[in-house]
Amino acid sequence: MALPTYATTGQRIGYYTFLTYCGLVFFFLIAPIFVILPLSFSASPFFEFTREFMNFEPEAWSLRWYRQMVGISSIGDTTVVTDKWMLGTRNSFIIGIAATFLATALGTVAALGLSRRNMPFKGTIMAILISPMIVPLIITSAGMFFFYSKIGLTHTYLGLILAHTALGTPFVVITVTATLTGFDTNLIRASQSLGADTMRTFFKVIMPLILPGVISGALFAFITSFDEVVVVMFVGSVEQITIPKQMWAGLRQETSPVILCMATCLVFLSIALLTTVELLRRRSERLRGIKLQN
């Protein structure tokens, strides 16, 4: 909506005010995330920009917190190895990847059923399947804490994986159903009339077309599990330390700048995931665009 050449001064002022306002909102959205990047290289043990740091004095910049994050820290001359953060990273990936696989498999199959024309009680079932996304995490955690302890799932990896799977499935269901709207069911009929069985039709015809949606959903499910802290706190034990749990502990107790280093790594991880999802979305649009042209 560029300004026409005949715009009056009033319109110009209005237009530029609008643009400035929008600029500020974008700044509000994005600035906090980038503020932590430089700060993670600060030598100061507090979360603040010191004068020396701002003047780029070499001794104010350091990688010590990163060294601590990967497990090497030195007190005086002795090197101490603390692998809490690395342990957390490992656990986060184990739980995240397992939950993602489960959630993607269950979610994709369910989305296929939900997108069928003759699905009974579609609205109600959809509402139930999406509910883990809507129910506040603290209520979910409370419920799981009581119930999982009854059946011996608290303090186990399995319990956390199941919990995170439940939290991740809504995202898979939403993205895959979205990809399936406008899916040409004649392709399935064509495949079946040419003699392919159900499995072959699924893997050779349906899957390639909905794959972008499935992968986006999987990435959503992964990041949901990877970020989740409340359920981990109540269902997991000391042993099941994850990155967010370690950050939480760090924020409540020691406020160590290692948190900023981990946060920086997580920002880059989210940038990578976001880029992947965006590329996939465009690919999916292109695929569907081609389908429309034919």
Partner 1 sequence: MNETITGPILTTDGIPLKVSLQKSEKRNKIRAFLLVVPLLAFILVTFLIPIGDMLLRSVDDSYINTVFPKTFKEYEKWDRQGLPSEELYKTMFFEVKESEGYAIGKASTRMNYAKSGWKSLLKKSKRKFKKIEEGPYKEQMIAIDKKWADMEYWKAIGVMVDATTAGYYLNAVDLKYNVDKDVVWQKENRRIYNQTWVKTFKVSILVMFFCLMLGYPISYLLSTLPLKYSNLLMICVLLPFWTSLLVRTVAWMVMLQQKGVFNNLLVMSHIISDENRFALMYNETATIIVMTQILLPFMVLPLYSVMKTISPNYMRAALNLGASPLHAFWKVYMPNSIPGISAGCMLVFILAIGYYITPELVGGKDGQMIGNWIAYHLKTTLNWGLCAALGAILLGVLTVLYWVYNKLVGIENIKLG
Nearer to partner 1, 31 or 80 (CB): 31
Q: Least distance (Å) from partner 1 to the CB of residue 93?
A: 14
Nearer to partner 1, 124 or 294 (CB): 124
Q: Least distance (Å) from partner 1 to the CB of residue 291?
A: 20
Residue 119, φ and ψ in degrees, nearest 5:
-75, 120
Nearer to partner 1, 1 or 81 (CB): 1
Q: How far apart are CA 116 and CA 127, in angstroms?
A: 16
Q: Least distance (Å) from partner 1 to the CB of residue 126?
A: 5
Longest dimension (CA), the chain: 75
Structure tokens at 164: 């995170």
Q: Of 84, 58, 20, 33, nearest to 239 (Cα)? A: 84
Structure tokens at 73: 């820290």
Structure tokens at 122: 């579609």
Q: How many residues are given for the chain?
A: 294
Q: Least distance (Å) from partner 1 to the CB of residue 73?
A: 20
Nearer to partner 1, 75 or 252 (CB): 252
Nearer to partner 1, 196 or 273 (CB): 273
Q: Which helix (H) or strand (E) holds 44?
A: none
Q: Least distance (Å) from partner 1 to the CB of residue 141?
A: 8
Which residues is 80 bridged to in the sheet?
Answer: 73
